[in-house]
Structure 1
Amino acid sequence: MAIVNFRTDELTQQALDELTADGATVSAAIRQALLDAARQRRRDLMRRESTALLTDAADLAESRAVLRDLDNLRAW
């Protein structure tokens, strides 16, 4: 495991104080904040990709074609 040192500024110190107000250690708060930030970044990327697909004419045409093909397989 790596040991990371960093200097807080006023804003990050306030955030760190907020995240440790419940008794969490500084290390635990920073670990959780990093995990949350990475998860949010992945969500943002998926949102951008899905938004791009909504306006992709070729992808929409392919999706419609697949739905038409699958419609023939419906039981009802």
Structure 2
Amino acid sequence: MGTLNVRTDEAMETALNALTGDTRSRSEAVRYALLRAYKEMLLEQAEKDAERLNADPDDQAEMLAIQRFMGVTE
């Protein structure tokens, strides 16, 4: 496992104080925030992918063909 050093400013300190509260250490708060941001990024990408697939009927047909090949759908 690696170590990360971060310089904080006043806004970062405010955010860290809000995220730590009485239950989390500063390290736990940073890990939580990074994982939350990563999850949000993945969800945004999934939404973009879904919009793209819904916009292009050829992509939908290709996805259906792949699902049939994999035995996921009939």
Per the normalisation by structure 2, the TM-score is: 0.73
RMSD across aligned positions (CA) = 2.1
- Distance across 2 between alignment mates of 1:50 and 1:12: 34
Where has structure 1 moved over 4 Å in runs of 4 or more?
A: none
Post-superposition CA distance 1:8-60 (Å, at most 9, x none): 12221111110011331001111111111111111111011001111113134
- Distance across 2 between alignment mates of 1:22 and 1:56: 49
- Distance across 2 between alignment mates of 1:21 and 1:35: 18
Aligned to 1:5: 5
- Unpaired runs of 5+ in structure 2? 66-73
- Distance across 2 between alignment mates of 1:51 and 1:6: 36
> Percent of aligned positions with the same letter in both sequences?
32
- Unpaired runs of 5+ in structure 1? 67-72
1:59 is the counterpart of 2:59: yes
Per the normalisation by structure 1, the TM-score is: 0.72
How many residue pairs were aligned? Answer: 65
